[in-house]
Amino acid sequence: MSRRRKRGHNSESTYIDNRFLVLDMIRRFAPLSKSDIAAMTGLTSMTAGNIINELCELSLIAGAGVQKSKAGRKPQVYAASPGSRVCVSVDLSSDDITLGLVDVLGNLRALNSFEVRKGDGTRVLHLINSLNDFCVQEAADKQLELVGVAVAVPGIIDSESGTVLRSVPLDWRDVPLRTVLEQIFPVPICIGKETHASIAGEYYFGTWGDAEDILFVNVGAGIGVGVMIGNRIHRGSSEMAGELGHVVVDPSGPQCNCGNRGCLEKLASLRSIVDRASEAAADGESLLLAEMAENRGGSLAIADVFSAFEEEDPVAVRIVQEAAGYLARGLIMLKRLFDPEIMIVGGNAIEDGKPYCDTVLRYFREYLANSNLPSDHDTAITFSKLGNKGRLLGASTWAFNRFFASLLAQSQAKNVKDTPGGQCSADHIGS
């Protein structure tokens, strides 16, 4: 499954790449004028202007008024044009399945969510099958054009075939998800990793400026990292890059589903925190946790543990602090390995665990404060503002990128003139 990136840039790929480059800039930073685009991309003014005209003709972008801040003649500015196009975006997290109809601006035109039992992968496929009606019918009712389906999966994906090779949270092995969905949805299907969806969401819809080296650390039932270097997702030779959750940090630690002991996600994920608190409640170590478990019919929720932490229950404090210490050291390791411009922490930890996030951040900063290495104190670490919605939005960009590539290829076939100059982005964010 080893993949070698093709590095040649012939005139055909430059044609598409330059248009994608302009379209990406407008999607991320609109409203922009033609001269803004020329300055940001390195394209000549004439080439930028020609491309913008072409993108307008394809209804991918549209005029969005004039640039108010400029003195004198105010230039026209442009923004992405959503029109009636949407994609079905699916987020398969371990606890629920979320589907949305998303437009190119990241607006959720419809949203539905269903709880799924832990590890019940077959049920997920049944749900997707039955939700065909919801998505297709909803799009038809609202007179929307469905351009594709994109699914964000927690696990290891062969993106060439759209097969889920292994998903520990879903308990899947070798599930040919794209093939299955192609039999259900009559549109192109994109399958990708949830961390890649998250980082694509932050790239297109986040507010992190023009950073090109970004890490997205997903902390939920598991722990995974999306790595973007120079505006491109880094997948690794076998699409395993970013599996931080399965780095062994304590060889004598608890058994992980991957086969090893003491993986980071068995010590610092939200699920691991709940597991350890449940053991403490069952062993009678903490009366408060035991009481909380009893009130829920025997099983603790992560909110209980954080609530006990805030009430300064000593056992809850110990469990949360130990987990936060492991995670903070994992973040330091990432910083040392990749030296990113920005490190974004997201996932259910943001939605459900402010006390946990605050503790992780405090430890992370303490470790850096003790360091005398250059620039350690400038590291930007932040929490996702998109929340869990980021995965849905990010996955939608895969479907739209594929759709745009198809439209641009058709446009190229009609318009054979070359557009020399400018930089070339040979790969696009997404699956």
Residue closer to Zn ion by CB (options 24, 239) is 239
Residue 248, interface with Zn ion (CB under 5 A)?
no
Q: Which helix (H) or strand (E) holds 304?
A: helix 302-310
Asked if residue 202 lies in contact with residue 340, where contact means CB atoms within 8 angstroms, the answer is: no
Helix residue ranges per DSSP H, 113-211: 121-141, 177-182, 194-205
- Tracing tokens 């951040």 back to the chain, one arrives at 361
Q: Which of 90, 225, 256, 328 binds Zn ion (CB under 5 A)?
A: 256
User: What secondary structure does DSSP assign to 202-255, as a single string?
Assistant: HHHHS--TT--SEEEEEESSSEEEEEEETTEE---TTS-TT-GGGSBS-TTSPB
For residue 257, the minimal CB distance to Zn ion (Å) is: 6
Binding mask 326-365 for Zn ion (x = CB under 5 A): ----------------------------------------
Residue 214, interface with Zn ion (CB under 5 A)?
no
Residue 156, interface with Zn ion (CB under 5 A)?
no
Judged by CB under 5 A, how many residues of this single chain contact Zn ion?
4
Q: Which of 56, 258, 357, 426 binds Zn ion (CB under 5 A)?
A: 258
Residue closer to Zn ion by CB (options 240, 303) is 240
Which residue, 235, 220, 274, 212, is CA-closest to 387?
Answer: 220
For residue 260, the minimal CB distance to Zn ion (Å) is: 5
Tokens of 45: 């003014």
Which residue, 86, 381, 346, is CA-closest to 198?
Answer: 346
Rounded CA-CA distance 234/229 in Å is 7
Residue closer to Zn ion by CB (options 101, 244) is 244
Residue 267, interface with Zn ion (CB under 5 A)?
no
Which amino acid, 272? S
The gap from C-alpha 72 to its chain's centroid, in whole angstroms, comes to: 42
Tokens of 210: 């023009």
Number of H helices, E strands in the chain: 14, 16
Tokens of 251: 């060889």
For residue 225, the minimal CB distance to Zn ion (Å) is: 14
Residue closer to Zn ion by CB (options 166, 318) is 166
For residue 131, the minimal CB distance to Zn ion (Å) is: 31
Residue closer to Zn ion by CB (options 260, 321) is 260
Q: Which helix (H) or strand (E) holds 317?
A: helix 314-338
Residue closer to Zn ion by CB (options 224, 422) is 224
Q: Which of 19, 27, 178, 246 binds Zn ion (CB under 5 A)?
A: 246
CB under 5 A: which stretch of 66-74, 241-249, 294-302, 398-406 binds Zn ion? 241-249
Residue closer to Zn ion by CB (options 264, 408) is 264
Rounded CA-CA distance 406/399 in Å is 11
For residue 50, the minimal CB distance to Zn ion (Å) is: 52
CB under 5 A: which stretch of 240-248, 279-287, 303-311, 329-337 binds Zn ion? 240-248
Q: Which of 55, 146, 150, 263 binds Zn ion (CB under 5 A)?
A: 263
What does the binding site for Zn ion look like in residue numbers (CB under 5 A)?
Answer: 246, 256, 258, 263
